[in-house]
Structure 1
Amino acid sequence: MNRFPTRRTLLCAALVLASVAAQAFPTKPIRLIVGASAGGTTDTLAREIAEDMTKTLGQPVIVENRAGAGGNIAAQEVARAPADGHTLLVAFTSHTMNASLMKQLPYDPIADFTPVALLARVSSVLVARTGAPYRNVRDVIARGKASKHPLTFAIGGTGSSLHMDTYEFEHSSGVPVMQVPFKGTSPALADVLAGHVDLMFAPVNGARPLVQAGKLRALAVAGNRRIAAFPDAAPITETIPRYTTNHGWFGVLGPAKLPEETTRALNAAIVKAMQQPKVKARLEADGSTPETGSPEQFAAFLSADAKHWAAQARAFRIQPE
């Protein structure tokens, strides 16, 4: 009798062990690392899905904020974490954009991560103070081309998708623009309200209360369709067909080489969380569109998005810093 295990026996044993390991996940609390400050859209979305994921997975899902460096601090922490599914990154647009804007990153935004689930895509809104002589994009273009001076655009976040929207507007409309950078959305909006700056591409959640209060006018949305938050604001593409839409996005990533069974379990829990009515309502209020799908679909999205931002950086002659 052969006392040594056959290859078939070893294979069966390995499959059993893998199955047991998959069924055991998660074995401890899951950390959702967010590369943004508490209270913002990314943080709020992370906390809402964490609540439902806790119920589904049977372990606490804890949100931890690691703000700074355009999301790089949080991304680097997750890239170096064990690939067991217990440390995840709630990423946003800068994750794929930074590779085109920075000379050197401490990680590869594609190769060093496992795509788990896309959460949502988000559009920005072009706003002006209500006393300004603009009611739509056509007014902006007409005044910009007639003026001897370039229109001023507030930049609430250098290197953000909102910044790219400003570049794209100048590029596609032919209207000269002077960018005025600010350290955050709030001070940028304050100077638009005060009349110190003409216009701004703003996040929907930041602009909405000011539009509702009659202090700002929503001229257009940067996406390719209308959104519930500003139903009267037409997409810029209706006026400028060659305008290339720059979508912001949110998604969940794990470290590279995350086991497939673990990735599937996390994806299913996240998709379920995103289907909750309160999560959908929150996203809609912020001008976001839920975009959940499979890990493979998210991987394809990330690859395409990185190429998109690289093309934008070349078109606008942005030199990495």
Structure 2
Amino acid sequence: MRCLARICAGAFIAASLALSPAAAQTYPDKPIRLIVSIAAGSVTDVIMRAAAKELEPKLGQPLVIENRGGAAGIIAGQACAQSAGDGYTLCVIYHSTMSYNPVQFDKLPYNADELVPVTRLFFLTEGLFVNAELPAKNVAELRALAQAKPDGLNYATLGNGSFPDLFRVWLNNQWGTKIVGVPYKGGGPAAQALAANEVQLTRFGVGNFRGLMDAGKVRMLAIAADQRSKQFPDVPTLKEAGLDYPGQGWWGLAAPKGTPAAVVEKVNAAFVAVFSDPKFTAFLDKQLVVPAPTSPAAFAAFLKEDRKAAEALVKIANAPRKEYKPQ
């Protein structure tokens, strides 16, 4: 028993040293796993793969991306929470992970408040899209079509309770329709489903649909922004189109519980440098996202306010709280 106790004590001391500030000075000394809460091919995945190339020389180690899309970020949130807090797992999270899921679901398999905020990365520019063959050239025509066929339209979401799904619920409440939600693991798969007419409408980040718009396969009816986009001056804002449902999508970086503060600061500095670099921000502009890196403390403060905003939007959508049940 004494021998076993010594082994356990030694393991504890080794773990403590691995998480100490002194050890953080040599961090990282092996590749870093980057869990991305969305499917490959989605605009966030494209951005993070480009960022990983820029981050490698700054951190001295490669970032290995692991896509964990689906269930409104819950699958990735669980994977992040169950990972060791040693700095070798980082998690690309978004508004559903940290703000919407906690106010909508009971029995989540992760605790959003235990994930360690590292930095906000960017805001999404979202749009309301339809399949190009749908006989609706504007929001008014879409509403008339939806009301004529109350349960005849399918809508791509990121799963029950995701922000796209909340917007669908709100639309149904406003229009008296029964538009059906169909879950996908990311904006990329959702965009392809819309182009293939598996679904007829959706709201997602514009960057996922740019190529399909150029190919004439999908059409943007409105854009979620305070002002019209310079890139799409003929597309009205959602508010102009009569869809005044606030809320803006964002993406950020978190780490598992227990990740040392020194490691968080080092990772934050590298990500902020990349997402502030003029060449990279020009790339982000082409993806129709707005860079918004922060300090860990500023991101934590932002998350508190965003949780309050999410709770208000859930009430507006009249979406009752429910128990999370893995699919």
* TM-score of the aligned structures, taking structure 2 as reference length: 0.77
Determine which of 102, 107, 127 is the counterpart of 1:104: 107
Residue 294 (structure 2) aligns with: 293
> 1 CA distance for matches of 2:24 and 2:164?
41
Please state whether the residue corresponding to 1:178 is helix, strand or coil.
Answer: coil
How far apart, in 1, do the equivalents of 2:310 and 2:169 lie? 12
- On the 8 A contact 1:71/1:91 being kept in 2, the answer is yes
- Residues 1:43 and 1:267: Cα distance change in structure 2 (over 3 Å): same
Consecutive unaligned residues of structure 1, counting only runs of 5 or more, are 1-16
2:177 equivalent in structure 1: 177
Distance 2:84 2:134 in 1: 53
- Between structure 1 and structure 2, the one with the greater Rg is 1
The AA in structure 1 aligned to 2:259 is L
2:164 & 2:31 partners in 1: Cα distance? 35
> What is the 5 A alignment of 1:143-162?
143=144, 149-150=149-150, 153-157=153-157, 158-159=159-160, 160-162=162-164
Aligned Cα root-mean-square deviation (Å): 3.0
Q: CA deviation at 1:246?
A: 2.5
Shift of residue 95, structure 1, vs aligned partner: 0.4
Q: 1:183 to 1:259 in 2, by over 3 A?
A: closer
Could you tell me which runs of 5 or more consecutive residues in structure 2 were left unpaired when the two chains were aligned: 1-18, 185-189
Structure 1 CA distance, aligned partners of 2:21 and 2:129?
A: 54
Q: Find the residue that maps to 2:301 and give its secondary structure.
A: helix
Aligned to 1:227: 229
Q: Which AA in structure 1 matches 2:226?
A: N
2:27 matched to which residue of 1? 25
Supply the AA of the counterpart residue of 2:268.
N
The percent identity for this pair of structures is 32
1:60 equivalenced with 2:66 (yes/no) = no
Match for 1:269: what amino acid?
A
Task: Using the TM superposition, give the Cα deviation of residue 201 of structure 1 relative to its aligned residue in structure 2, in angstroms.
Answer: 2.4
Q: Report the CA distance shift for 1:267/1:126 in structure 2 as closer, same or farther (over 3 A).
A: same
Contact kept in structure 2, 1:127 and 1:201, CA below 8 Å: yes
User: In the alignment, is the contact (CA less than 8 A) between 1:34 and 1:67 conserved in 2?
Assistant: yes
One of 217, 220, 223 as aligned partner of 2:219:
217
Query: 1:213 is aligned with what amino acid?
Result: A
In structure 1, how many angstroms separate the alpha carbons of the residues matched to 2:262 and 2:90?
15
TM-score by length of 1: 0.78
- The match for 1:9 is none
**Residue 75, structure 1, aligned to residue 77, structure 2:** yes
The match for 1:236 is: 238
Distance 1:170 1:84 in 2: 45
How has the CA–CA distance of structure 1 residues 35 and 129 changed in structure 2, closer, same or farther, with 3 Å as cutoff?
A: closer
CA distance in 1, matches of 2:48, 2:26: 24
Number of matched residues? 295
**Which residue of structure 1 aligns with residue 305 of structure 2?**
304
* Deviation (angstroms), 1:29: 2.2
CA distance in 2: counterparts of 1:133 and 1:38, whole angstroms? 31
* Residues in 2 aligned to 1:74 and 1:272: alpha-carbon distance in whole angstroms: 25
Higher mean alpha-carbon deviation, 214-223 vs 112-121, is at 214-223
For 2:266 and 2:292, locate their aligned partners in 1 and report how far apart those are by CA, in whole Å.
18
Partner of 1:95: 97
- 2:202 is aligned to 200
Q: Aligned-pair distance for 1:144?
A: 6.5
Which residue does 2:315 correspond to in 1? 314
C-alpha offsets along residues 89-144 of structure 1, whole Å, 9 cap, x if unaligned? 1112320222234321122112x111001111113212335565544445555x46
- Summarize deviations over 1:260-305 as a string: whole Å, max 9, x none: 2221211110011113455434433332111111111211222222
Which residue identity does 2:246 align to in structure 1?
T
* Shift in alpha-carbon separation, 1:20–1:124, aligned structure 2, 3 A: same
Farther off after superposition, 85-94 or 38-47: 38-47
| Cα shift readout 1:227-268 (whole Å, capped 9, x = no counterpart) | 35533212112343x813232221110122433222121111
Native 8 Å contact 1:124 1:162 kept in 2: no
